[in-house]
A and B are shown apart, each in its own frame.
Chain A
């Protein structure tokens, strides 16, 4: 009796040589796909053998819409692509136009852009922490993350009037100057945040369940990461030092001191650490931004491109004419094509703009970081358990608005 050992190969049913794998559809409506993504999984028991993502469920035709709208109208559209960090889309869009026009942006506008972008980065990483944690069972983390995110949305609303879709940039600068008291509110936010990020750190970083779920899962080596074309924290989590803000600085980023956190192993845990540390670096940049905020105009003085301030309209006839031309028709750009790129919380967000001399883009192609990050999904989940697929997708931090456009 004591020696009865059941061996499946001997005592179990006859195993077929080539068993067919089970098709499991992680459909477009799923709590953990972070949007409407369909992943067609082929399972061998609980182990994933093939994962094919199917996208297009949120395709909105942004690129076609851009061809129809003037440059200023397009800014409002650009918000809705990567809708977790809309200010960053705004800046990328106008940077492409400014590169085409060779337009200088005044220093105050540059600093305001940096402040809004870093706030958006914090908000996006907080949301990522909340939802990726929620997928893995960290129910309370969701509420902590949203508590902090609401503070950023308050700042957005105080500046632009809208919680999320700020549309705060204009070609040549920003749309409005900072309201009174905004800098003080931002300073309070900066003082408030470090203990809250430390809260997350203490809750998750050495948590045995978190480590068990994320360590060694979804490993992407540095060479593979470059070969697969991934970007952002996925690339940095694998140890590749590539952050657009450091390598190709824009909006004055070369003047700020901040570090770029890098991972070592390229697994989900390293990506989590990278993002958490990035939030702290954002606070550093925000503090430096407040300290160096210069006085001056918030939009370019080139009246052919940027609207004149309203006070001028009652005094100067040319201002009225410029205002009229800009609002009704917009400005025309030279013929040519440019590529401008910014660092979004997901990676390198690029805008390829082709102009034929009209007042609207001839072709505006968006290079979305999430599209590029999602491609190697099959490679990352080969041979893991189904539950790890959720962890990997959470750590990729893609957003379907970006993937599908």
Chain B
């Protein structure tokens, strides 16, 4: 996106929602804005109705365990008419991370937010049907968090000793 377009868009958002826009960046041509969770739905609705960001791309989260707030939750949407994209970010803190759901603004966000809940444990307030989608319903734990060790089986190489190891371990 051209710099001018980016600047004016960010300006319009910050004028409309005073104080909600925390920061914005344009890294490698991708515009991202960080918005305060309270005004998230308002900003989203403004972007859809007045800035024509009508095509939903995806929603996900990133876990930064060393930072506070821990999670960055983001949605990316595209404007088909203007050929632009914007990434709306917000944050969620432990314990009990939760952010507003954008399903009422962009219906396809439904499954994406369910997946983010499934893999990160972030609750989306206002989501019509928040439950696990990829993992079994009875699964405990949130696999994509950084402190969730992705266990498989320990691989043992031929020069290691075999005593004291679980019987299921793979023997190389």
Is there any pair of Cβ atoms, one from A and one from B, under 8 angstroms apart in the complex? yes
Identify the stretch in A39-47, A105-113, A286-294, A363-371 within 8 Å (CB) of chain B at 4 or more residues.
Answer: A363-371
Chain B nearest CB, measured from A92 CB (Å): 13
Interface pair B87/A229, CB less than 8 Å apart: no
For A227, list chain B residues within 8 Å (CB): 54, 107-108
Chain B CB within 10 Å, residue with most, of A227, A229, A242, A338: A229
Interface pair A362/B80, CB less than 8 Å apart: no
From 371 to 398 in chain A, residues with beta carbon under 8 angstroms from any chain B beta carbon are 371-372, 375
Chain B nearest CB, measured from A260 CB (Å): 14
Using CB atoms, name the residue of chain B closest to A64: B150
Interface pair B134/A59, CB less than 8 Å apart: yes
Chain A nearest CB, measured from B84 CB (Å): 11
Chain B CB within 10 Å, residue with most, of A56, A242, A247, A372: A56
**Alpha-carbon distance between A197 and B58 when the two chains are bound, in angstroms:** 35
Which residue of A56, A99, A363 is within 8 Å of B133 (Cβ)? A56
Q: C-beta contact mask, B44-82 vs A, less than 8 Å → 1, else 0?
A: 000000000011111010110000000000001000100
**Alpha-carbon distance between A391 and B133 when the two chains are bound, in angstroms:** 25
- Contact A61:B143 (CB < 8 A) given known A339-B30, A362-B62: yes
For B144, list chain A residues within 8 Å (CB): 63-64
Chain A nearest CB, measured from B42 CB (Å): 20
For B76, list chain A residues within 8 Å (CB): 339, 352, 367
From 317 to 374 in chain A, residues with beta carbon under 8 angstroms from any chain B beta carbon are 336-339, 348, 350, 352, 354, 362-363, 365, 367, 371-372
Interface pair A372/B108, CB less than 8 Å apart: yes
Using CB atoms, name the residue of chain B closest to A337: B27
A23 at the interface (CB under 8 A from B): no
Q: How many positions in chain A have a CB within 8 Å of any CB in the partner chain?
A: 36
**Alpha-carbon distance between A65 and B56 when the two chains are bound, in angstroms:** 26
Q: C-beta contact mask, A253-294 vs B, less than 8 Å → 1, else 0?
A: 000000000000000000000000000000000000000000
**Alpha-carbon distance between A371 and B115 when the two chains are bound, in angstroms:** 11
Which residue of A56, A65, A352 is within 8 Å of B60 (Cβ)? A352
**Alpha-carbon distance between A336 and B108 when the two chains are bound, in angstroms:** 26
A204 at the interface (CB under 8 A from B): no
Using CB atoms, name the residue of chain A closest to B136: A56
A50 at the interface (CB under 8 A from B): no
Q: C-beta contact mask, B105-139 vs A, less than 8 Å → 1, else 0?
A: 01110111000000100000000000011111000
For B63, list chain A residues within 8 Å (CB): 363
For A198, list chain B residues within 8 Å (CB): none
**Alpha-carbon distance between A338 and B28 when the two chains are bound, in angstroms:** 7
A175 at the interface (CB under 8 A from B): no
Chain B nearest CB, measured from A131 CB (Å): 24
Interface pair B28/A365, CB less than 8 Å apart: no
For A242, list chain B residues within 8 Å (CB): 80
Chain A nearest CB, measured from B23 CB (Å): 13
- Contact A56:B108 (CB < 8 A) given known A350-B58, A363-B62: no
B90 at the interface (CB under 8 A from A): no
For A367, list chain B residues within 8 Å (CB): 57-58, 76
- Contact A375:B135 (CB < 8 A) given known A226-B54, A247-B83, A337-B30: no
Chain A nearest CB, measured from B52 CB (Å): 11
B91 at the interface (CB under 8 A from A): no
A118 at the interface (CB under 8 A from B): no
Chain B nearest CB, measured from A10 CB (Å): 42
For A136, list chain B residues within 8 Å (CB): none
A248 at the interface (CB under 8 A from B): yes
For B111, list chain A residues within 8 Å (CB): 371, 375
Which residue of B30, B60, B83 is within 8 Å of A338 (Cβ)? B30
**Alpha-carbon distance between A61 and B148 when the two chains are bound, in angstroms:** 12
Interface pair A339/B143, CB less than 8 Å apart: no
What are 7 inter-chain pairs, A to B, with CB distance below 8 A?
A65-B150, A100-B28, A227-B108, A229-B108, A337-B87, A339-B87, A375-B110
Q: Which residues does B use to contact A, with CB under 8 Å? A: 27-28, 30, 32, 54-58, 60, 62-63, 76, 80, 83, 85, 87, 106-108, 110-112, 119, 132-136, 143-144, 150
